[in-house]
Amino acid sequence: MSRYTAGHNVIYFCCSLLSFVPSCNALNDDSCEKPPRSGTETYGRYVDLRDVVFVIQSQRNSYHTQRAERRRKEILAQAQTVNQSSPDVVLLHKLSDYDGNWSILPALPRLASQYCQTSLWIMFLQEETIVNLHNLLQVLSRFSPRKEWFLGRSLHDDEPTIIHHYAFSEDPYSFAYPDFMAGWAISCPLAKRTAERVNYEPPKSDFTIDLQHEIALYIWEEGRGPTLTAVNEFCSELHGSSSAKRCATAVNTYLSACGKPVLKEGVFVAVKTCQKFHRDRVPIVKQTWEKDAASLEYYSDVIDSFIPTVHLGVTNTERGHCEKTFAILRRFASGAVTQAPWLLIVDDDTLISLPRLRRLLSCYDPTEAVSVGERYGYGLSRDGYSYITGGGGMVFSRVAVQNILAGGCSCRSSDAPDDMVLGMCLTTLGLPVTHSPLFHQARPDDYVKELLARQSPISFHKHWNIKPVAVYQRWLSEPDQRPHSLTDTREEL
C-alpha cells in the first residue's frame, strides 16, 4: 500500500516557493480587502471562489465515483453562472493512493500544503451535498480567514452513546459536531495547524467509528482548539424545497435506489448463531425479517433440524468467529448452495430490512468486487485499514468473495475478529471498502434521531436493553408488513 510521506510534503512546499507569486489572500493583507458585491452584507473580507477549495468525500467504487464526479461538474458549472473563476474541486479518493483518506486527518497534510498556499477555506461535501455558491460565499465572508474557524451544522447527543465512546457522559449535549451531509468548512489557519499536529499527535483511539464526532473531538483538542461554530445556512433540507432557498448547502436525496431492486433470489443470507441463542435470538429473526429472504441459512455449532441450522465443522468461539465466517465464504463461493451474486453475513442479533437492502444493491455492479456496509477504520493515522463492521451486516459481491479467497487471506486464529481480518485482506488486495450510512452497528438509541429520521435505515444491531421486535417494526418494517406472534414462532421451533 502506498501513501504520501512527510518528505513529499517538504518537496512540494519547497518547489512551490520557487514559483509562487503571493496573492492578497495568501498574504492575509488588510490592504487587499475587496468590496462586497452589491447587496451583500459582510463582516470580514469578501470571499470569492478562488479562496475556497471544495473536497468531496468520495469513495473508490464506480457508483460513488460517478456521483462525486456529478457533484464536481455541478460546482464548476455553477461557478460559470456566477461569473467567477473555477474553484479547485478535489475528489477525496483521488487525493493519494492511501485508502484511509476518508477519515480526513490523514489527508489534511496534503490538502493544507497543496491548497492553503492560495486558498482561505477548505469546504468538505458529501456526494449528496448540493452547494449554492452565491449563498456560501456570503456565509464565508462573515468570518475572518486569518482566524481558526470550524463551521458546520450542529449535531448533539441527547445521551451518552457507545459509538462516541460515552464522551461527555455528564452532559453529552454540551458538545457539538458537524452534520457531514450539510457540508462543513475549516479555515486554512486551522487546517495548517491541525495538519502539523497530525504528524506528532494522532487521535487517542485507534478506531474510527463515527467520523463526524471524532473530527470535532480532534479539532477541539480538549478545549485548546476551536469548537464547532453553528452556521444556519448549512442545511440538511432537501434541495429544491422552499425551506432550502436561504441555504448555502442542501441535500440532493436521502434515498439510495437506482432502479428495480435486486431480486430476492439475488441475495444469499448467512446468519451466524450458536446453540446458546437458538431459543433467544433466532426466534426474533424468524418473527421479523426472515420472511423477506428467498435463500437463507443459519450457521451454528450444532445441528438443530427445527430451525434448521448448518454446522460447518468449525469450533464455536465466544468472539471473533473468523473461521466460521471464512467457512461461510467458501460455502458461498463453491456455488453448491446458491448462485446468487450477493452474500449478506449477519449476526443473530442483527435487525435488517432485506427489501431496503435490495433497493440499495441496485446501485452497485455485482461484476465488481463490492464490499458494502458500515465502514469503520483501524489505525488509519498510521497506514491502517478500513473494514465493514460485522454487526450491521457485511455485504459482498460474489466477485469480492472470490478475490478474498483467491488472495490467500486467512485467520490468524479461529476467534480473530472476522470483520477486521476481512478489512485487512481487502486493503492488502487493493479492493475498496464501501460505506453506507444506512447500516448501523449499534441500536437506534445510539444515534442522533434527526439523522435516522431522514434515512430509510437498513440495519441495527444488539438486543440489549431494547424490545427488538418493536425496534424492527418502528425503524425497518415496510408499511404493509405486520408482525407475527412470538409464541407462534417459538412453537415452530
End of a domain among 225, 251, 277? Answer: 251
What CATH number should be reported for the domain holding residue 321?
3.90.550.50
Mean pLDDT of the chain: 88
Task: Annotate 247-292 with DSSP letters as a single string.
Answer: -SEEES-S----SSPPPGGGEEEEEE--GGGTTTTHHHHHHTTGGG
Our count of domains for the chain comes to 2
Answer whether residue 257 is part of any domain.
no
Q: Is the pLDDT of residue 3 over 70?
A: no
Quote the cell numbers at residue 435.
Answer: 460505506
For the chain, percent of residues with pLDDT exceeding 90: 78
Q: Same structural domain for residues 477 and 448? A: yes
Query: How far apart are alpha carbons 71 and 367 in whole angstroms?
Result: 25
- Tell me what the mean pLDDT of segment 120-128 comes to: 97
Q: Same structural domain for residues 399 and 478? A: yes
Answer whether residue 259 is part of any domain.
no
Q: Is the pLDDT of residue 493 over 70?
A: no
pLDDT digits (tens, 9 = 90+) for 185-198: 999 999 999 999 99
Q: Is the pLDDT of residue 235 over 80?
A: yes
Structure confidence at residue 481 as a pLDDT band (50, 70, 90): low
Q: In the chain, how many H helices and how many E strands?
A: 15, 23
pLDDT digits (tens, 9 = 90+) for 153-162: 999 999 999 9
CA 105-444-231 angle, 5° bins: 50
Answer whether residue 205 is part of any domain.
yes
Q: Same structural domain for residues 233 and 276? A: no
pLDDT digits (tens, 9 = 90+) for 33-86: 443 333 334 455 688 999 999 999 999 999 999 999 999 999 999 999 887 889
pLDDT digits (tens, 9 = 90+) for 363-405: 999 999 999 999 999 999 989 999 999 999 999 999 999 999 9
Query: How far apart are alpha carbons 286 and 289 in whole angstroms?
Result: 6
- Return the SS3 of 121: strand
Predicted confidence at residue 44, as pLDDT, reads 54
Predicted confidence at residue 12, as pLDDT, reads 32
DSSP-derived pairing of the beta strands 342-347 and 267-272: parallel
* Backbone angles phi and psi of 375, in degrees to 5: -90, 130
The residue range of the domain holding 159 is: 6-251
Q: Same structural domain for residues 195 and 339? A: no
DSSP-derived pairing of the beta strands 229-230 and 207-208: unpaired
